Structures are given as structure tokens and as C-alpha cells.
Amino acid sequence: AARSVKVVDTTGAGDCFDAGFLFGTFEKRLPVEEALKIGNATGSRSCMFPGGVAHRSTYADIVRFMEHG
């Protein structure tokens, strides 16, 4: 399920989802379900900032977001 976030700008959310999913799949070699969670968190977090992909998230940012919101 998607996390509820305060949306500032949805530009690039799909691209960020794709990037997170591919990172989880190919870099971290996670099972598909876990890679999807990273993609979901990456796309959701990108909506919280203006400018599409201008605000880049690190893996640590995504892990914190997944754990604490």
C-alpha cells in the first residue's frame, strides 16, 4: 500500500519509483516484493519536494522513510 504523504509536487514520482525498484533489484539483489517497497518509498518521498527529481534521496534516506515516515 502507498504511504500517505504531504504532496508538494508529483513530477518525477514514477521515475523515482522505477529508480528505487531497479536499485533494489539489481544493486541490492532483493526479492521483487522488497524491491517494490523501495520503489514505492522512493516515489512517495519524491512527492514531498518540489522539482521532480531535483531532490535526490540516498539509500539511507529511503530506509529511514520506510522505518519512520
Is the predicted pLDDT of residue 21 greater than 90, yes or no? yes
Range 40-67 burial, b when 16+ CB lie within 10 A, else e: bbbbbbbbeeeeeeebebeeeebeebbe
pLDDT for the residue numbered 7:
95
Radius of gyration of the chain (CA): 11
pLDDT confidence bin for 2, thresholds 50/70/90: confident
pLDDT for the residue numbered 49:
93
Is the predicted pLDDT of residue 1 greater than 90, yes or no? no
pLDDT for the residue numbered 12:
92
Is the predicted pLDDT of residue 54 greater than 90, yes or no? no
